[in-house]
Amino acid sequence: MRIVRILFFLSFFLIIGMSDSTYPIFLIMIIVLFQFMGSIFTNEILWEGLCIIPIIWTLLIAANCNRFKERYLFLFCMISLWITGILYILKFDTSNENLKYSIWFLTPLIVFLTSSIVLLFWHFKNPVKNEEST
């Protein structure tokens, strides 16, 4: 299960858009956070930085969810990360003629989707263990 969880996070960070000039999500997150921190000191707030902070918290919460106890919290984190990935992919203009379905786009996306489905299956496979009855 740890390998699938590591694959889940790595593939999420490596998702790229379909345009020619796109970067993986982890680079976009780093760039936006640095711009956000710099904009705090110049009194011009970069609002994209405020959008990245909940994504980081969602990743931290999903990484710390126990296997069976917080299954609905993990489901919420998974859905929000799916939406984040889809919004990042669709962020670029789809009328652009240079869109490509390259191996660098499809591989992380497919690994992210399959690993998240496997993790959801494992979280909901077994019933919740009741600690009060012991």
pLDDT score recorded for residue 114: 92
Quote the pTM value: 0.76
- Specify the long-range contacts of residues 68-76, CB closer than 8 Å, at least 24 apart: 68/123, 68/126, 68/127, 68/128, 68/129, 69/128, 71/123, 71/124, 71/128, 74/119, 74/120, 74/123, 75/120, 75/123
pLDDT score recorded for residue 22: 75
Query: Nearest to residue 82, comparing CAs of 109, 121, 63?
Result: 109
Burial 60-95 (b: 16+ CB within 10 A, else e): eebeebeeeebbeebbebbebbeebbeebbeebeee
pLDDT score recorded for residue 134: 47
Lowest average pLDDT, out of 19-33, 83-97, 98-112, goes to: 83-97
pLDDT grade for 67, boundaries at 50, 70 and 90:
low
pLDDT score recorded for residue 36: 81
pLDDT grade for 115, boundaries at 50, 70 and 90:
very high
Mean pLDDT of the chain: 78
Count other C-beta atoms under 10 Å from residue 17's C-beta. Answer: 18
Mean pLDDT, rounded, for 95-106: 65
